[in-house]
Structure 1
């Protein structure tokens, strides 16, 4: 669950396609002609595992460079680890989408009243962080472990009892995060079937194999917003609105700390940020593991390696790839380049996470690498508020998969797995597996 833009999609290009170069390391920085690639508007397509190859060339030769986005805006790309860290920690760089120059990738600006807190600066942003952060403290998150284990076991039971091959996305990656999110938000148990189905449709909005996916996603988004509005109305009428996230937000609205629409906006943000990111990590991370049987054997022999492996998977994949967007509020120098007030800034966390200067041989997946300082969850005041819950979900899912299905493998060649090429939250559309 991240402090991220709620499910927006850049440009109008198809979002998924079979990735012919799936999982291959980018070519050397000098092995292609960058002017030809610069002719294409930003963002450029990635594979399931690797960033666009131009990122490595930029880190080496033009670490802060201006590009034109798909909707004709200009913005500065920041590609090196140290520079990205500097941008994310600088209060002169704004997250407020209302500011002129903020990069939008063709996304229609939301109504002012529908702006969630990820598009806010302090002091507004701090109000929401303070309201939410207590829900993701270690003790509170750990209390979900037993329920989460039962949820994952049940999903695997159903998958292994069914036909082979199975789609791990629909069998495990989608239902687990959406159910956990329902617990955290306070969705009624009898409504979880609707909630899980609607969040699945919302996440699959760019499934190129289904011509009706976008239409269903738009309908699901409206239904989820209406459902949240109904839940909030019920909580408002109750003497005690409850101690889950919705209840806490309703209480804050009663006190006048936030507005009622802020409650709905925050609920929608939690649905998209908390579901799509974790679901994408489960599916794509499993794909990485299945392509690295040596690492899988090590993890089975020593489960204590899994926390470190999760950090490396988060770094290596960086599924939240095109979400961290900013605009300068003052003239500022980053990496020797002057960025003027009002100019858009795109700190490329995926490029930073593949910077050889910080992570030697960064394009290699290595579960023994110390990688916890990655930017997969962001950095600074907008760092992912729900990262502790995401880590617990990933750990329980992969511990259980490795233990219960030792023969798990891909049912199709890795290069045929459909990849989200342009999505701001990357991943795979389906993952056929067998055992």
Structure 2
């Protein structure tokens, strides 16, 4: 239901804003609306535009094509990773992982058993996200949703484990933000890795906020000794990462982070296949069975992707995002607060809607203002700190035909908002 209201809201708000732009342009052009300070102020915010409806219509076609291309591009990786997951499942990797993370997962996913088939893709998805391997994370996340849906009693309603998984997923815990570092290097930043620590701290804060808000809803005891020990371990790992990478040169950071990510990823693949071989499982047939399921899921998400990306494209093309930014800037200036971060705010507002859109805004900002300006560093921190909440929720829930999302969207956007605020604060601490 929440996605329904968001989808309708994007389209109707875009129509109203576009209509106001057209009326304002016509009034000024024909002289019906006389020039005045008030009209100038309105025009500065709304920006009269006779071509606004053309831009919106063009965006609908472009975004629907983009959605289809994403789905088709995802088909291969979906088939690959769901095939590998099937190999691991039949080889017994679930039992191995249940020993390693079972005590923690048992407490944050209490309605799933430690031997539940979803546990492996959940852990793999978290691992891929932490290593910055987006292409691997998505099919693993879809596989996790597929397995959780099998034991979901109410097939059209999001279960507690699904919501916990999605909110932690969308909070975007990332240990190695290699993509952001590469974009900064390409833009000519003096120190491309200088955003590494702010991103690491921000994404940790966002993830903890997501865990807390969902735990409150689901009455999960975060002060449990086992939960506290695992969280302490994660925080210690983050500390080690910060210490290690801050004592490396820029080129070493890029080289070793990429090396570590790919080594861990392929080691997991090899362990799945090796375990299947050890237990005399037909790994090839298992892979084919899983790949078939992956292909079917990739096709099923096309309508959900088209619906969400088109509405986001319409919202952007109408200029509503620019209006929001101008209002925020005016508000901060009115109360006398520092607004140096405002040029980066579009990245933070766009990230929950579209990862590629946020990335484009980040690159554009670095190109226009320079990669080493304060606003550019804030934008990079925002880009690396959270994930595309509405995109992930639409795709993941759509893949298993979930219609009632309950509080998943609200909790995910709350974690995103905390992430954006943390990104701004961390940027002032480290860069201003």
Q: Tell which structure's C-alpha radius of gyration is larger.
A: 2
What TM-score results when the alignment is normalised by the length of structure 1? 0.29
Structure-2-length-normalised TM-score: 0.30
Question: Higher helix proportion, which one?
Answer: 2
Hey, which of these two has a bigger chunk of strand by percent?
1
